[in-house]
Amino acid sequence: MKSHITNAISDFFCEYETPRQVLVRNRRVGVVCRLIQLGVLAYIIVWVFIYEKGYQSTDTAVSSVFTKMKGVGYTNVSGEERVWDVADYVFPSQGDASFVVMTNYIITEGQKMGKCPELPGKHHCSSGSDCEGGRYKRQMTGVCVNTTKTCEVLAWCPVEDDSKIPDPPLLMSAENYTLFIKNSVTFPTFKVSRSNLVEGIDKNYIGNCLHDPKTAPLCPIFRLGDIVKMSGFSFETIAKVGGAIGIVIDWTCNFDVDVRKCKPTYEFHGLYGNPDEKDDVRASVGYNFRYAKHYLEDKVQKRTLLKVFGIRFDIIVQSLARKFDIIPTLTAIGSGVGIFGVATVVCDLMMLYLLPKREFYKNMKFKYTESQTQDPDSEAGSTETEASNK
């Protein structure tokens, strides 16, 4: 028993095992093997290293976006002139990455809480029984107003009439408003911070530039009309009923080269609001909401209600930075070397099951043994004799 343990330990440290290899001289098998190996090598070089850049580690950015609108609008409705500035037509307040610019509106002035008839054509009635409370979305009083043949409601009166949307839009001047975007990104893994105000962009440049994909691709000031056009919309159409546009700031950077080459690109996408949408979604075309300005008049609370149609802008930052890293490089190489084993598997299948001389190749590839047991007290313990199948 002691000698067995000693021999086992000695064999473990003093012997080396290696697989037996058989050299097969067969043109078809050889060609298939080399073609598969070339395919695997091309996959590793072209796809893993060149396209997927498997030799680099990646990181996404932590970002912040600051926006500022500029421009003045003018309206003349029924002889009433009004000037609209940024505080009037941007919702919410300045600075958000998602905001709405008002381009059209329906205004209902002098509303106060009270009882008044519904608009003609809505909640038609012939008697008070048709106006029972809770039957409609408004709070009914149970009275049918004979003059209008509509139910009386408890609401802000007079009731808003939004059946007719102004056409052309009241604030077509919004086409010439400008949007300034300031974006900062940080890649924490690589400890790199960048801003869209890259090298060469100073106060003088910002004061005179206007973004253009060809002549001024890095200018952070955008004309609203140009944004709408590049997103595929007609400004007059989207200004009438509202819509949404996505502004994508893309940071795709390679930190194996100069960091100053890490610069943003801008893309514009129409999200919804186009009247050419399919019929099954046509009912949801546009974007609108209501807001009210409350005030006191003769100690009576009143409000001015506006139904706002506008363009919603969503600024989306997407990022991906890469830099050489030995760990993903070795991982990619190791994975590629492992894939080379596919060639061996395919060629073995051909050689052992498809070729005419498959029995001959089986005898050459495999070594068959027979075991004969000896006296357990003998020094060898057991012996094996080789027998080849011929």
Instruction: List pLDDT tens digits, range 121-144.
Output: 777 888 878 887 655 567 788 888
Q: Say what percent of the chain tops pLDDT 90.
A: 42
C-alpha dihedral sign at 249, 250, 256, 257:
negative
Q: According to the annotation, is 149 in a ligand binding site? A: no
The closest alpha carbon to 179, from 84, 241, 94, belongs to 94
Q: According to the annotation, is 12 in a ligand binding site? A: no
H-state helical runs in 82-130:
86-89
Q: pLDDT per residue over 225-234, tens digit each?
A: 999 999 988 8
Query: What is the rounded CA–CA span in Å between residue 262 and residue 43?
Result: 28
Contact partners, residue 94, CB within 8 Å, separation at least 6: 67, 68, 69, 86
The gap from C-alpha 72 to its chain's centroid, in whole angstroms, comes to 33
Q: According to the annotation, is 164 in a ligand binding site? A: no
Contact (Cβ atoms closer than 8 angstroms) between residue 176 and residue 224 = yes
The predicted structure's pLDDT at residue 384: 40
- Res. 380: pLDDT tops 50: no
Q: According to the annotation, is 289 in a ligand binding site? A: yes
More confident residue, 371 or 236: 236
Q: According to the annotation, is 290 in a ligand binding site? A: yes
For the segment 69-84, the average pLDDT, to the nearest whole number, is 89
For the segment 170-182, the average pLDDT, to the nearest whole number, is 94
Contact (Cβ atoms closer than 8 angstroms) between residue 372 and residue 385 = yes
- Res. 357: pLDDT tops 60: yes
Q: Say what percent of the chain tops pLDDT 70.
A: 87
Contact (Cβ atoms closer than 8 angstroms) between residue 246 and residue 226 = no
